[in-house]
């Protein structure tokens, strides 16, 4: 019986194994936390400011729901849900850029 990965194979390259793994668990968690923090910043915006940011409909609805919740457990769960929706977005950079623009205008 032969193992699927034979350490004595000439074709085995330990560097290629790292490439298949992708980012570390710690990096994925840092990225998820950053997106959740971005979602929390969206929740703090006014309705007019929120309308100027390009958000998918489900994310916009989740942000508005979080704005209506008191600062307790349900609000925290809603922020986690917003983070989950943010992770499903392919490129959050347009949202970050629009948020920075809205926040700079406010100051």
Domains of the chain: 32-106 (1.10.60.30)
| 97, two tokens | 């850029």
How many DSSP H helices and E strands does the chain contain? Answer: 6, 0
Confidence band of 66 (pLDDT split at 50, 70, 90): very high
Contacts of 94 (CB under 8 A, 6+ apart): 54
Residue 95: the pLDDT is 94
With CA atoms as reference, report the closest residue to 92 among 81, 82, 80.
82
Q: What is the mean pLDDT of the chain?
A: 85
What proportion of the chain, given as a percentage, has pLDDT over 70?
Answer: 79
Residue 97: the pLDDT is 94
Q: What is the mean pLDDT of residues 8-21?
A: 59
Residue 17 pLDDT exceeds 70: no
Q: Helices 25-43 & 57-68, crossing angle to 10 degrees?
A: 70
Q: What is the mean pLDDT of residues 33-59?
A: 94
Q: How far apart (Å, rounded) are the C-alpha atoms in residues 59 and 90? A: 13
Q: What is the mean pLDDT of residues 24-46?
A: 93
Supply the pTM of this predicted model: 0.75
């Amino acid at each position: 019986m032969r193992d699927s990965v034979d350490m004595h194979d000439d074709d085995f390259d330990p560097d290629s194994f790292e490439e298949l793994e992708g980012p570390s668990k710690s990096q994925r968690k840092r990225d998820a936390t950053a997106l959740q923090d971005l979602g929390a910043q969206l929740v703090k915006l006014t309705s007019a400011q929120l309308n100027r940011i390009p958000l998918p409909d489900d994310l916009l609805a989740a942000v508005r729901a979080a704005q209506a919740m008191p600062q307790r457990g349900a609000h925290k769960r809603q922020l986690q849900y917003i983070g989950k929706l943010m992770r499903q977005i392919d490129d959050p950079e347009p949202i970050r850029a629009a948020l920075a623009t809205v926040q700079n205008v406010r100051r």
